Amino acid sequence: RAMAIARQVLCLCAFLSVPHARAEPIRYSVAEEAESGSLVGNLAGDAGLTPAQLSARRARLLSEHGRQHFRLERASGRLVVAGRLDREELCGHSATCT
């Protein structure tokens, strides 16, 4: 059971409330063992924007703790893993990790 909990999926919610884009949350799930550079999703497409529109709006990722776990490639609109995700570092021993 502990292994099943350790392999819980981390979720990332991206909120975009800009004109001509989706106003509801966009949710992505990322496996704990995802390698750096792994594709999380196409944020531009999922938000209903072209990569150029996303870039023109100066889209960026913000982190409460200053560490960026994800990277937004504005030229392509892709959201990728910035570095290996460590569940224990992010969520401690919590049964769920969001």
Print the domain residue range for 50.
34-91
**Is 21 a domain residue?**
no
**What tens digit of pLDDT does each residue of 36-86 get?**
899 999 999 998 999 999 888 888 888 777 788 899 998 899 999 998 887
**For residue 52, what pLDDT is reported?**
93
Cα 11 from Cα 25, distance rounded (Å): 12
- The C-alpha atoms of residue 37 and residue 53 are separated, in whole angstroms, by 23
Residue 52 domain flag: yes
Domains contained in the chain, number? 1
60, part of any domain: yes
The reply to whether 69 falls in a domain is yes
- Whether 84 is covered by a domain: the verdict is yes
In angstroms, the CA 51 to CA 54 distance is: 5
Which domain CATH number covers 66? 2.60.40.60
**Structural domain includes residue 98:** no
Tell whether 56 is covered by a domain: yes
